[in-house]
Copies of this chain bind each other. A is one copy, B any other.
Amino acid sequence: MQIAVYGLGRFGSFWAALLSQSFQVKGYSRNPDRLTPPGVKRVDLEELMDCHVLFLCNAISSMEQVLQEIAPLLKPGTLVVDTCSVKVYPVDMMYKYLPASVGILATHPMFGPDSGKNGVDGLPIVMCKERVSDEEYILWKDHFRRIGLTVQEMTAHEHDREAAYTQGITHFIGRTLDELNLHPSSIATAGYDALLKIVRQTCNDPWQLFLDLQKYNPYTSRMRKDLHRGLEKMLGTFDSIESVGDLNG
C-alpha cells in the first residue's frame, strides 16, 4: 500500500517516519527547506497523488487552501486522512472540498515528536469514522493498535467538546496565569507547583497553536464563557465579604 504525507513540519515529519516503519511512504512539503524524514521518499505534488491513502499534516489554518489545491488532483478511491488537533472544522472542510469519489477519515494523534520520542506505545489516537468503508476503517484501527496506540473512537463533535473542556481549558488557564508572572516560592504548596508546571508547559507551545486550537474548535467559545461566569461568581463571593486590612492599591 502506497502512503502519502502532505506537510513535513514538526508533526508531519514525525508521522511520516513512523508510518515508514510499516509502509512505503512518500512525502511532500510546499516548503522546499523542510528536511526529508528518514525512510520517506520526497516527491512533488503530482507524484504524491499517486497513492492509496493521503495523510494531511498541514496546519489547521491552511486546511481550506490545501484541500482546494489537492481536490482536483486526487485519484478516485483515495482515502484522505487528516491529523488536526481539532476535528469538526477539518471534517467540514473535507466534505466541502473533496470529491465524492474519495474517502474521508479524521484522526487526532494525541502526541508528537516530544511525547513520542521514546516510542508511541500506549499513546492515544482519536479516530472519527467519516466517509470510509468498514474495511478501510478497521484496517487503520488495527494498524494503529498494532503499533501500540490506544484508539479512542468518537465523533468530531464529541472530540471537540471534550478537547475544549480538557486541553482547551488547561491552555487557557495556563496562558491567563502567565499574565501574572508567577514564580517559584519557598513556601510553595504541591498544588501551586503543579499549577506552575501547567503554566510552563502550556506556554511552551507556540502562541499561534494556542490561538488556532481556540479559534478552530467551535466549543471553546462556550468553555471560555463558562470560565468567565465561574470566575465572576467566585469574585462576587468576595465583593460581598468585608476583607481585613485590604492592601489593594
Interface residues of A (CB under 8 A from B): 88-89, 92, 108, 110, 124, 126, 152, 154, 159, 162-163, 165-167, 169-180, 182, 185-189, 191-192, 194-195, 197-198, 201-202, 211, 214-216, 218-231, 233-235, 237-238, 241-249
Whole-angstrom distance between the alpha carbons of A225 and B243 in the complex? 14
Q: How far is the CB of A88 from chain B (nearest CB, A)?
A: 6
List 7 extra interface pairs beyond A176-B230, A214-B238, CB under 8 A. Answer: A89-B244, A174-B191, A176-B233, A177-B230, A220-B238, A221-B246, A221-B248
Contact indicator B172/A187 (Cβ below 8 Å): no
Count of identical protomers in the assembly: 2
Which residues from B are CB-within-8-Å of A218?
243-247
Most buried by B among A228, A230, A234, A245: A234
Whole-angstrom distance between the alpha carbons of A187 and B211 in the complex? 20
